[in-house]
Amino acid sequence: MEELLLEYGLTGLFILSFLAATFLPVVSEAALGALILAGMDPYACVAAATAGNTLGAMATWGIGRWGSEPFLTRMLRLSAAQRERAVRIFARYGSWSLLLAWTPILGDPLCAVAGLFGLSLKRFVPPVLLGKLARYAALAYLLS
């Protein structure tokens, strides 16, 4: 996989980061690390990963906004416990909870719940972008 990632570079990182934010079991951090350790510009890698992951989160938001209840439960494998936890956190902290959109297990349900609650993209994108940028920047800093 590393050879394939190095062949596609930032485009591959962008795509993997997008997919990682859409309920698929993809690890974008490993891809970011592989490219940085292979000598690619850390700033460009952070930008590509952040953009892809943020757009993937927006897709998950859209699924929450316009997808049906059975689709969220069955197709996205969003368990009742995951959804209920995300609903509680989102109800308590509102759009600020989306700073946690980068976290495993909780992040994707939070993005879907934000869509379910009808949160506008104007309020959705800033905290999601900030949280994801901070995560990738911290990882790049540790690897540089």
Place 6 in a pLDDT band, splitting at 50, 70 and 90: confident
Q: Are the C-beta atoms of 118 and 82 separated by less than 8 Å?
A: no
- 105 φψ region: left (φ > 0), alpha (ψ -120 to 50), beta (else): left
| Mean pLDDT over each residue of the chain, to the nearest integer | 87
pLDDT average, residue stretch 128-134: 96
Q: Residue 1 — pLDDT band, cuts 50, 70, 90? A: low
**CA 56, 61, 62, 68 torsion: positive or negative?**
positive
pLDDT of residue 5: 73
Q: Which amino acid is at 98?
A: L
| Dihedral over alpha carbons 129, 96, 16, 74 (to 10 degrees) | -150
Is the pTM above the cut of 0.95?
no
Mean pLDDT for 98-122 is: 87
Query: In the chain, what percentage of residues exceed pLDDT 70?
Result: 91
pLDDT bracket for residue 125 (50, 70, 90): very high
**Model pLDDT, residue 74:** 67
End-to-end CA distance of the chain: 22
* pLDDT, tens digit, 9 for 90 and up, residues 53-101: 999 999 999 988 988 777 766 666 667 787 787 778 888 888 888 988 8
CA distance 88 to 137: 29
